[in-house]
Structure 1
Amino acid sequence: MKPSTIPLGDDDRWRIALAKDRRFDGVFVTGVHSTGIYCRPSCPARAPLRKNVRFYASPGEAENAGLRACKRCSPDTQSAEEACVLAAIAAIRASLDQGRGPMTLEALAGLTGYTPTHFQRLFKRTVGLSPAAYAKALREERVRGALSDGLGVTKALSSAGYAGSKQFYAETKGKLGMTPNDWSKGGAGKRVHWAVLPTTLGPMLVAATDKGVCCLAFGEDEGELRARFAKAELVPAGEDFRALFAQVLEAVEQPGPGSAAIPLDVKGTAFQQRVWEELRRIPYGETRSYGELAAALGNPKASRAVGGANGANHVAVLIPCHRVIAADGSLGGYAYGLAIKAELLRREGS
């Protein structure tokens, strides 16, 4: 998925194994060469010495290296709990495929034999989201994908199991992103106000609609902006945007937690929006690795997709992708150069 394809590093995997984090079961296995066995990350056995450990992507890869499965955590078999969660996910998808909308918690629990309360806890522990939140994110993803493929708004909403546009707007209210109609038109009819502001980090392009900032980029000008918003009307920013652009400038020159209040109007897939929203939750002055961000989204296998969503972010600083670094603590990459990334982190005290 695009340039930032940084998977979990071995240091990440070691920390996960020490924490016995069951969310990563199935993502990799831990090979202990002093004993000749391999385990799930959540194996309850005593932690081995780091020098004796190697990590493998799958049980098959570990067995090819001459290791055998741990009898305590059975990494080569699927647990009954995992099987129930996978069955529930398949049922949720089938229900949406058939246009019936999301299933109730009680119906899903009935498929697994667990009580609704226990099943909800199990599903969230495994996936990172409740069944309702998972179905909601999946529906939003399907709607946006259908609109991007040219399907009309009504059909796109219906295909994802929405009763109508009112229900979709109610569920997605307050989220980052354009409306379904904006998606289907590719942004046509939007008026984008822009300016290039001088900063201590070099020229900074800022653009906004009447809903909020839609672009913040260093070292770019009207040409790049026009390429991003080919169907929009671009106009130089006037007095109406002076206060907003002053807030943006302050967020760069004198960063602080207050920048989170600056309104945004950005376009992305449902997954990209989830990543961008999670980026905005990273506390001021802190950083996260790609693997940590993927885990926070409830999908530890999605490090590469998280990197792709980072690369698709066109609102620097306000959607703080600069706070995502490599697993080994190095800066990783940044669209506007590592010098700017390092300085932004320094200003935030990271």
Structure 2
Amino acid sequence: MFETEDSRWEAVRTRAKAADGHFWLGVTSTGIYCRPGCPARTPKRENVRYFPSPGAARAAGLRPCKRCKPDGEGLPARDSAMVQTICRMIEEAETPPSLADLAAQQALTPGHLSRLFKGQLGITPRQYADAVRDERLKTALQGEGRITDALYDAGFNAPSRAYESAGKRLGMTPGDAKAGGKGQVIRYAMATSWLGRTLVAATEKGLCAVQLGDDDDALVAALAQRFGKAQLEEAEPGSPYRQWIDDALAAIERPEEAASLPLDIQGTAFQEQVWQALRRIPAGQTVTYGELATAIGRPTATRAVAAACGANHIAVIIPCHRVIGKDGSLTGYRWGKERKAKLLKAEKP
């Protein structure tokens, strides 16, 4: 939802309140930025630019609209605190609480709670609960106990549910996960891009790694170290894996094509939240770590957001290079500040 320019423009044209919090629009003819649901006169489409956060709009030299107060002024302060409270409730529950139970505890209707939660975090309470449970499962599977015990400890009511979730979220069965990825096959290919030697790898779910470097052996060794006991194979020409890999290499040249690529992210719940937010930052725009933390509803988690950016193994496709320091500095980058500077320069409109 609201990932394409057409869908965003439709939200602006219809003043869709549901789009508030998903993106902000700047009007170049007036020099202001607004919420999509702003009651002001609809601007001409050619004068509209889209931003992932108010901070990004301010960095572009725009000022906030006095009617819709896009920085949050005038909104109930309890909303943000309520969402954070719900997150803590989900994280502390032994099994995922139902939407109805969460809503009742906050004296809201389930629909209102779901819209509020998704408006701030971009995902539903159920999706957040699923991610928390999957993260618990990953941790539990690293222990010495039985797989069945790990499934129940993570909050699954039945092994069948866990195996279904693991296939979708972990990219492997719980047994394979406990064995360090043993039995999982990862296909990869090497190529030369304008950023240097590039390794792209994929599981049966989608891309799991895009690594940049100067030495092929070092890149393959890093992939092998990350996936432990998984079997690494070179992708065969004409296979679906090779097509994904070729599409990823093309997206390095044309960043606007990255959003459509299937990914097998394999991160924690918090990391996935950060990485999904990164994918919503348009090419040519940057945000600070603080702005990114605010965008996911965790304004005090700046350091954790920075750590999640540093843990990103899918370069360019998950564009952590678009996050800069509060003072405008490039800060760190897994594949070198020089590559980060090249990427930002290439993406400038």
TM score, norm. by length of structure 1: 0.64
Q: 1:334: how far off?
A: 0.8
Distance apart, 1:123 and its partner CA: 7.3
Structure 1 residues 322 and 177: CA distance shift in structure 2, 3 A: farther
Change beyond 3 A, Cα 1:172–1:303: farther
Q: Identify the match of residue 185 of structure 1 among 169, 175, 179.
A: 179
- Structure 1 stretches lacking a partner, 5+ long: 1-11, 20-40, 45-78
Aligned residues: 276
> How far apart in 2 are the matches of 1:203 and 1:344?
15
The aligned runs of 1:56-205 (5 Å cut-off) are: 92-93=90-91, 96-97=93-94, 101-111=95-105, 114-116=107-109, 120=113, 124=117, 128=121, 131-168=125-162, 178-205=172-199
Alignment match of 1:216 (pick from 191, 194, 210)? 210
Shift of 1:341: 0.9
1:235 shift after superposition:
2.6
**d(CA) in 2 for partners of 1:199, 1:289:** 27
Secondary structure class of the residue paired with 2:300: helix
Q: Is the 8 A contact 2:166 2:174 kept in 1?
A: no
> Alpha carbons of 1:153 and 1:287: their partners in 2 closer, same or farther (altered >3 Å)?
farther
Letter in 1 for 2:283: Y
- TM score, norm. by length of structure 2: 0.64
One-letter amino acid matched to 1:230: G
Whether the 8 Å CA contact 1:154–1:164 is kept in 2: the answer is: no
Corresponding residue number in structure 1 for 2:291: 292
Q: 1:292 to 1:153 in 2, by over 3 A?
A: farther
Q: Quote the Cα distance in structure 1 between the aligned partners of 2:86 and 2:322.
A: 35
Is the deviation greater in 322-331 or in 138-147? 138-147
Q: Give the deviation of 1:131 after TM superposition.
A: 4.9
The unaligned stretches of length 5 or more in structure 2 are 1-54, 65-70
**2:100–2:110 Cα contact (<8 Å) kept:** no
> What's the RMSD between the two structures over aligned residues?
3.8
Contact 1:196 1:203 in 2 (8 A): yes
Looking at CA atoms only, which structure, 1 or 2, has the larger radius of gyration? 1
Give the residue type in structure 2 aligned to 1:322. Answer: H
Structure 1 residue 320: Cα displacement: 1.4
Distance change >3 Å, CA 104–CA 278, structure 1 → 2: same
Highest RCO, 1 vs 2 (Cα 8 Å, sep ≥ 6): 1
Match of 2:301 in 1: 302
Pairwise CA distance, 1:181: 3.9
Distance 1:127 1:182, change over 3 A: farther
Distance 2:170 2:280 in 1: 13
Q: Distance in 2 between matches of 1:264 and 1:180?
A: 20
**Conserved 8 A contact 2:199-2:209:** yes
Q: Secondary structure, in 3 states, of the residue corresponding to 1:198?
A: strand
1:262 aligns to 2:261 (yes or no): yes
What letter corresponds to residue 342 of structure 1 in structure 2? A
Whether contact under 8 Å (2:118, 2:125) holds in the other structure is no
